[in-house]
Structure 1
């Protein structure tokens, strides 16, 4: 079930974490030192606000994905502190990072569709 309050909180957490990543406020080189594109796709907050599952998409090399997730997991204390500052909650949820390959799958599907369209134009 999706609740309006948890969705709103999830969106606010997503904005804060995206800002931390894009402005390179996370000093871990595993996150900021890669040439890969790192983006926050979704944030699911548990109804009692104890956990926030943050889904991260990394476009680039496979080894960069693992490094970025490790870097974010090691910086989760700092990230949680910054989220607590930005989002006014009594208790800041524990942040759990998970990999998300939905953007990659979308790019692959788009390539397959383009290949089909090119093949049908040749006939």
Structure 2
């Protein structure tokens, strides 16, 4: 194998392989089971429901990045404002325990090392929704653009040029 194949990044131009995606989903489902059934005895995680949104694996399937979101964290309140970093830190502290529990549930040659990250896709989606609801942006979206008007004008020009060409050919 060439050197490039060994150092290929999981998020390169081709994206993750089918094997990485399948193993990521397997680990995500097993991790949800571990968090629900076994739980973690930590003050930071007491009473917090955690949603595992995605698991991304390295090409060799030995390292997993788990994207998590505290349930109900999409609505920011004074109570949940600074909660995500504490929860992520607590999950990363207990990553070895979770890896051990995960190894009992999945049938893989190697149980990957776990690293937890906060999933920011929900925040990005809510930001985009707020942008689309902004009256100034809505006015721009509702206004017809020049590119929509130009094809009609081009069709009219083509029709008149074709008619002139036909008339010109009859005269010759």
Give TM-score scaled by structure 2 length. 0.59
Asked if the contact 1:57/1:102 (under 8 Å) is kept, the reply is: no
Give the structure with higher Rg (CA).
2
* Superposition deviation, residue 93 in structure 1: 0.7
1:107 is the counterpart of 2:126: yes
Deviation (angstroms), 1:14: 0.8
1:67 partnered with 2:79: no
Q: 1:18 to 1:114 in 2, by over 3 A?
A: farther
TM superposition shift of 1:102: 0.8
Query: Residue 85 of structure 1: which of 104, 107, 111 is its match?
Result: 104
RMSD: 2.3
1:62 match: secondary structure: coil
Q: What whole-Å deviation, never above 9, does each CA across 1:50-79 have from its counterpart, x for those lacking one?
A: 100111223152321011001101111111
Give the TM-score taking structure 1 as reference length.
0.79
Corresponding residue number in structure 2 for 1:18 = 32
Q: Residues 85, 39 of structure 1: CA spacing in aligned structure 2 closer, same or farther, 3 A cutoff?
A: same
Higher RCO (C-alpha 8 Å, min separation 6): 1
Can you give the 5+ residue segments of structure 1 that lack an aligned partner in the other structure?
none
Number of aligned residues: 117
Show structure 1 runs of 4+ deviating over 6 A. none
Q: CA deviation at 1:27?
A: 1.9
Q: Distance in 1 between matches of 2:42 and 2:33?
A: 15
Unmatched segments (≥5 aa) in structure 2: 1-14, 140-172
Distance 2:41 2:95 in 1: 12
Higher strand share: 1
